[in-house]
Amino acid sequence: MRFFSEEKVSEVRDRSSIVEVISDYVNLKKAGRNFRGLCPFHSEKTPSFMVNEEKQIFHCFGCGAGGDVFSFLMKVNQISFPEAVEELARRYGVSLPLQTASPSQTKEAARREALFQINELASNYFQEILTRRREGEPARQYLAQRGIREQTIDEFHLGYAVDRWDGLLQYLRKRGASLSMASELGLLIPKGKESWFDAFRGRVMFPIRNLQGRIVGFGGRAIGTGHPKYLNSPDSSLYHKGEILYGLREAKTFLRQSDQVMIVEGYFDLLMLHQSGLRQSVATLGTALTAHHLRLLRRYTERMVLVFDGDAAGQQASLRLLPLFLEEGLWPKVVLLPEGEDPDGFLRKGHLEDFKRRIAEGPLLMDFFLDRLAKIHPVKSVEGRAKCADEALAMIQRIPDVIQRDFYLKALAERLELEVSLLRNRIGRGLKGRLRMETGTQGPLSQRYDSRAEETVVRLMTQDPRWVGRVLEERIIDEFESPSLQQIARAMEEVYRRRGDLPLSEVMAGLEETLQEKLRRIIFKEVVFEEGIEEKILEDCVQKIRERRLKRDKSELRKRIREAEKETGGEVPEALLAEHQALARREALLRKSGP
């Protein structure tokens, strides 16, 4: 395994021109401080692919792809990180002495590869039983009854776990695989010291692959009376349910081509959609959608369609996801199937054209939510109208975009035959404050440039390294409320303290993918501060962050004092009184330093 020192990787990065490299693949044109072109990773007619030479990063606002010069070459040429480093080193004349991997790195890499190999062995075993052995006949009949074709079985590497306690156990033992590692992956269950039995028995098996095609886990569907009906691998060092979507590896090309993704709940729903030509489909894995799932899908498309069962439970499952979608700034549609139907059964009955029509005509999930509220609460009565308004406003205030939020406020007012001003008053102080910040022109300079003070601080840090020093002087990062912005700011601080400069591509390398995308969006968002007022903007932001932190600390202290009074019959411990006095001093200092 090839390893290069951090210093050499940094040298290659610093010597490379990201605009020069990407220009070999994309026709770039100057656009202000950036370069713009058509994204090479998804189909688009309007350029949304941005490159910044100064900061040595790229970002596509269409599919979410982004990173530094290394990640571009890795993605566009489907090569590994060491291969990208070597290619750029040759191009820019940097010598690359190899650095030997540490014993711990070598050991961990070998262990991880062994886990992947065990999953591969298990998949081969399950598939061999299904496709070649007599014991697989019950599963073959079951899949045929469910309309699953041989081509689909081969493409998704479906298999069968025989209804025995030691089928896989004996198979792995004969091939010298580590049984304790197989237990760690959830394939075997321990029953004593150095003793195990098969976890999956009498089940059709669905290998679950990551985007690189490696098997990270399995799902199993009982074909007899086994319980539970579906059994999934537990989370492991390879597999995290909240990060993996079944079928995404097979669907990702079609997501880009169609600019759409259909999200279903079950394995068979997914297989039937793919068989029906609707290959832009993925499935959750026995868990609800997560923010990570949505950010993963957003790399390919923002047009999302929920296709759940047509009963009340399916509708409720769709509605439970609405807050998550809204907070991620996504507007999914929902497909409404007839009562009692699921995607798999509906398509097996030959209703493909009807299914496509329902996709095209499906309402936005937000509109479906409002329609359902109007049915639950009789809006002709004052009480029903008030309940409908309260539930709708609780959802509307989650919408981050002020224009979209205002649209739904007006739509709700029209539905309920109320003045929109009444709804704005009822929505509460929190939302009113957000509306003032985002639409008004008064208030501190930081609010006029960005409603989120912490994001403005991070943006200032990206624009000029000297602001990193000023931010560190203020010691304000510890007071950030946003965990993601705090992680980004700390990564910038760490690189700045080590290098005395701020190469953002190096900052990116130390962040997980979702944080990298967030930082890229901040960088490429065109915000030009008026010359000479950056210091004032920073001061306003610091003041705002400290005021918000003080308010939270005071609230928490009041709660602790009330709890202490209940326990002591009205006496307040001296330690809490001392904290109260310290907060009072902080408040006085803030007022003194404020605008």
CATH no. for residue 305? 3.40.1360.10
Contact yes or no for 538/457 (Cβ under 8 A) = yes
Domain final residue pick, 368, 401, 426: 368
pLDDT above 90: percentage of residues in the chain: 36
| Residues 358 and 224 reside in one and the same domain | no
Kindly state whether residues 590 and 493 are assigned to the same domain: yes
pLDDT band at 450 (very low <50, low <70, confident <90, very high): very low
Burial (CB count within 10 angstroms: exposed 0-12, middle 13-18, buried 19+), residue 38: middle
Q: Are residues 218 and 133 in the same domain?
A: yes
Q: Which domain holds residue 414?
A: 377-439
How far apart (Å, rounded) are the C-alpha atoms in residues 286 and 256? 25
Most confident option among 79-83, 238-242, 329-333: 329-333
* 163 and 226 part of one domain: yes
68, 56 contact by CB (below 8 A): yes
Distance (Å, whole) CA 519 – CA 514: 9
pLDDT band at 148 (very low <50, low <70, confident <90, very high): very high
Structure confidence at residue 435 (pLDDT): 35
DSSP H helical segments within 352-499, as ranges? 352-361, 365-376, 382-396, 402-416, 420-426, 429-439, 445-449, 453-463, 466-474, 483-499
Q: Is residue 24 part of a domain?
A: yes
Q: What is the CATH number of the domain that holds 501?
A: 1.10.860.10
Q: Is the CB of residue 474 less than 8 Å from the CB of residue 540?
A: no
Mean pLDDT is lowest, of 57-61, 262-266, 527-531, 582-586, for 527-531
In a domain, 447, yes or no: no
Choice between 411 and 534, residue whose per-residue pLDDT is larger: 411
261-264 vs 230-232, strand pairing mode: unpaired
Whole-number average pLDDT of the chain = 85
H or E, element range at 88: helix 81-92
Answer whether residue 421 is part of any domain: yes
| 137 in the same domain as 24 | no
171 located within any domain: yes
Mean local confidence (pLDDT), 243-252: 90
Top-confidence residue, 281 or 192? 281
* Residues 340 and 223 reside in one and the same domain: no
123 pLDDT band, cuts 50/70/90, is very high
> Is 70 a member of any domain?
yes
Q: Which strands form 304-306's sheet, in the order they lie side by side?
A: 281-283, 261-264, 304-306, 333-334
CA distance 488 to 495: 11
Mean pLDDT value across residues 146-151: 95
Q: Which of 36-40, 97-101, 204-208, 464-468 has the lowest mean pLDDT?
A: 97-101
* Count of domains observed in the chain: 5
Residue 435, domain member (yes or no): yes
Shared-domain flag, residues 328 and 386: no
Residues ≥6 apart with Cβ < 8 Å to 473: none
What's the pLDDT score for residue 592? 63
Do 563 and 471 reside in the same domain of the chain?
A: yes
Looking at 188, 218, 239, which one is the last position of a domain? 239
141-144: long-range pairs with CB below 8 Å, 24+: 142/204, 142/223, 143/204
CATH assignment of the domain containing 49: 3.90.580.10
Residues 291, 417: one domain? no
Burial code (b: 16+ CB inside 10 Å, e: under 16) for 408-425 equals: bbebbbebbebeeeebbe
**What pLDDT, on the 0 to 100 scale, is given for residue 63?**
85
Q: In what order do the strands lie in the sheet with 57-60?
A: 29-31, 34-37, 49-52, 57-60, 66-67
The answer on 475 and 337 residing in a single domain is: no
Domain co-membership, 482 together with 540: yes
Q: What is the pLDDT of residues 539-565, one digit of tens each?
A: 888 888 888 878 877 887 787 777 777
259 and 356 in a single domain? The answer is yes
Q: What share of the chain is helix, strand, coil (3-state, %, to 5)?
A: 55, 10, 35
| Contact indicator for 61, 50 with CB cutoff of 8 Å | yes
Residue 97 resides in a domain: no
Phi, psi of 223 (to 5 degrees): -105, -5
Say whether 34 sits in a helix, a strand or coil. strand
Of the three residues 215, 239, 263, the one that is the final residue of a domain is 239
Q: What's the pLDDT band for 528 if we cut at 50, 70, 90?
A: low
In a domain, 22, yes or no: yes
Distances (CA, A) of 18 to 35, 41, 61, 370, 527: 11, 16, 18, 47, 22
